[in-house]
Amino acid sequence: MDQSEFEQIVRVVTEEVVRYLGTPETVIAGGAAGDGEICPDCDLNCAEKCARKTRAVVDAGADRISCGPSIVELEAGFAGLIDHTLLKPEASRDEIRKLCQEAVRFGFASVCINPWNVPLAAELVRATKVKVCTVIGFPLGATLSQVKIHEAEEAIKLGAQEVDMVINIGALKSGQDDVVESDIRGVVEVAHSGGAICKVIFETSLLTIEEKVRASLASKRAGADFVKTSTGFSTGGATAEDVALMRAVVGSGIGVKASGGVRTLDDLKKMVCAGATRIGASASVKIMEQAAGSASPQAVASGSSASTSY
């Protein structure tokens, strides 16, 4: 990819994120004619009435257009979007057992736990649709590629069906995209050979827009199944803007996982609206209770504030 192609991608995804934000009176250089036109009561999230803006983004290469969260309708089985997560280092075996019981009860996509807990989780969710997800090179991503490969291989032998690996953030920031891509590819190949899928964690709160684009492209070239926003252990978590940007870059052939700080049903809807196809959350049960109407949004928010969501 040459510089002009890269700049085109950056322009397209920037337009998409700005459009998602609904920032008024924002004109992107090289944007479509009519970008400054605003309908009465327009929230700038209408693909029908802002057709020229939408067409310009699609023509430039985007294959997903995000919408306002107010129009998102989740299917009854949306629990299948959620990785029910417990990654705190002090998690006890009893807490892992409870996590697995909750995942089976609600029908979550997976339980996401540290590698040491994989054998227990695999036993507890056996014969159910819940998968076992674990993390690789977590949470810093700065370990050796050979170690990440070995960790993924051993975790899959123990029962992991999904692995969420952290990229080499320092290499990305040093402009060594080939190192980042190779690091990802090693884990992807081990995962696929073991019948598992691989999600790639960026730690978006530490990255610039350009770095997020480059990480997305490296993940796509390396054959990743998902790109993922955050570990939940850094300076920030998922944002709808980052999800929209990642989705615009990777297209529809790769999943996008929003993780970190997704604590309410409204949070989840915003991420899905922006293009997420998987949600990582430790507040999963409270989100389900809110969806069922058994807990108010305020109760869910306050009930989640004491613990970190990953």
Among residues 257, 269, 270, 286, the one annotated as catalytic is 257
Q: How far is CA 170 from CA 69, 148, 198, in A?
A: 34, 16, 21
Residue with tokens 């609904």: 22
SS (H, E, C) 176-218: CHHHHHHHHHHHHHHHHHCCCEEEEECCHHHCCHHHHHHHHHH
Query: Catalytic: which of 83, 164, 183, 267?
Result: 164
Residue 273's nearest CA partner among 240, 251, 297 is: 240
**Structure-token match 């960026």, residue found:** 202
Judge if the upstream peptide bond of residue 139 is cis by omega within 30 degrees of 0: yes
**Two tokens, residue 164:** 């969420």
Question: CB 48: neighbour CB atoms within 10 A?
Answer: 6
Q: Is 129 considered catalytic here?
A: no
Closest CA to 138 of 115, 105, 166: 166
Catalytic residue among 148, 228, 270, 286: 228
Q: Is the CB of residue 288 less than 8 Å from the CB of residue 212?
A: no
Residue 88 annotated in active site: no
- Catalytic residue flag (residue 164): yes
Reduce the DSSP state of residue 164 to 3 states and report it. strand
The Cα 257–Cα 260 span in angstroms is 10
CB 150 within 8 A of CB 130: no
**Amino acid identity, residue 290?**
Q
Chain CA centroid to CA 25, Å: 30
Which residues lie below 8 Å from residue 133, measured CB to CB, with a gap of 6+?
Answer: 83, 110, 111, 112, 113, 160, 161, 162, 163, 164, 199
Burial label for 204, CB within 10 Å (0-12, 13-18, 19+), is buried
**Which are the catalytic amino acids?**
164, 228, 257
